[in-house]
Amino acid sequence: MTILIFTGAGISAPSGIPTFRDENGLWENHNIDDIANYLTWRQNFQNVHDFYNQRRQIIKTKSPNSAHHVIKSIQNEFENVIVYTQNIDDLFEKAGVTTIHLHGSINEMKCVACGNIWEFYDNFDAGYDTCPKCGSKKGVKPNVVFFHENAPNYPSFYKNIIKLTEDDIFIVIGTSGVVIDVDALTFDNKAYKILINLKDEETINKNYFHEYIFGDAVETMPYLLEKLRKLKNV
């Protein structure tokens, strides 16, 4: 039996990291094409690095919240718990959760000239710094998946979703379903499906789920642990 958990920016919101569409969010004040478009990022090289440098420094100061810790408990208590996140922050890692990042990580850089990926926690100096492997300057970008960029972990994600059966559990937490279409993940999915989101989003069909809980993830996640214990007769 597999428990597949899929999370988005909502789980990090209680830790003080704004969601994608948050009114006060960092994203709100930026044009996506300036900072997250693979087709144009080289033209906006300085802006791109300024933006992700800023986010990297903010995220460094943030800590996981109890929703991240509940997922850690689920991974400790049950077997075959696979966690996929759209988040680029490192709050799951800070909570000790093993997670697969669908949209990359703020703490990695990638060189598109040679394919090198390396851990990076500082500020990238767009006028000076280079790829440590091949020396490319203009090929270095944050290892965050931009719009129109290949997302290397999508194939394993969709394969794992397709494999789910009636014996499995699929949990969606804190995503608007705008970037990754949640309806497409649930429509044909035979698993027992649970949705946890701050509110009922018109972009997600809640009727494809067996259960939905609307509220702050920090408040609702303890219920999830109880529910899983019941479903698995622990």
Give the contacts of 62 (CB within 8 A, at least 6 positions apart): 12, 15, 16, 17, 89, 91
The partner in contact with residue 199, picked from ligand NAD, Zn ion, none with C-beta cut-offs of 5 to 8 angstroms by kind, is ligand NAD
64 binds ligand NAD (CB under 6 A): no
State which residue, 60 or 138, has the beta carbon closest to ligand NAD. Answer: 60
**Three-state SS annotation for 199-211:** CCCCCCCHHHCCE
Among 5-13, 130-138, 146-154, 222-230, the segment contacting ligand NAD (CB under 6 A): 5-13
Choose among 106, 93, 98: nearest CA to 143.
106
Give least dist CB 140 to Zn ion, A.
7
13 contact choice in ligand NAD, Zn ion, none (CB below 5 to 8 Å, kind-dependent) = ligand NAD
5 sits near Zn ion (criterion: CB under 5 A): no
Q: Which of 49, 68, 101, 103 is catalytic?
A: 103
Candidate ranges 25-33, 91-99, 126-134, 189-197; the one touching Zn ion (CB under 5 A): 126-134
DSSP 88-138: -SSHHHHTT---EETTEEEEEEEETTT--EEE--S---TTT---TTT--ST
Picked from Zn ion, ligand NAD, none, the partner binding residue 178 (CB below 5 to 8 A depending on kind) is ligand NAD
Whether 68 is catalytic:
no
Smaller CB separation from Zn ion, 117 or 179: 117
Spatial separation of the C-alpha atoms in residues 109 and 101, rounded to whole Å: 14
What DSSP letter does each residue of 31-82 carry, written as one string?
Answer: -HHHHSBTTTTTTTHHHHHHHHHHHHHHHHT----HHHHHHHHHHHHSSSEE
39 sits near Zn ion (criterion: CB under 5 A): no
131 is a contact residue toward Zn ion (CB under 5 A): yes
Please give the radius of gyration of the chain, using alpha carbons only, rounded to the nearest integer. 18
Our CA dihedral for 66, 96, 198, 170, rounded to 10 degrees, sits at -120
138 touching Zn ion, by CB under 5 A: no
86 contributes a contact to ligand NAD by CB under 6 A = yes
Using the minimum distance from each CB to ligand NAD, give the nearer residue, 11 or 191.
11
How many amino acids of this chain bind ligand NAD (CB under 6 A)? Answer: 26
21 forms part of the interface with ligand NAD (CB under 6 A): yes
Give the torsion through C-alpha atoms of 51, 218, 206, 145, to 10 deg.
20
- Please check whether residue 213 is in contact with residue 195, taking contact to mean a CB–CB distance below 8 angstroms: yes
Is residue 9 a contact residue for ligand NAD (CB under 6 A)?
A: yes
Residue 22 Cβ vs ligand NAD, minimum distance, rounded to whole Å: 7
* 3-class DSSP state of 9: helix
Active site residues: 103
Binding positions for Zn ion, rule: CB under 5 A = 111, 113-114, 116, 131, 133-134, 136
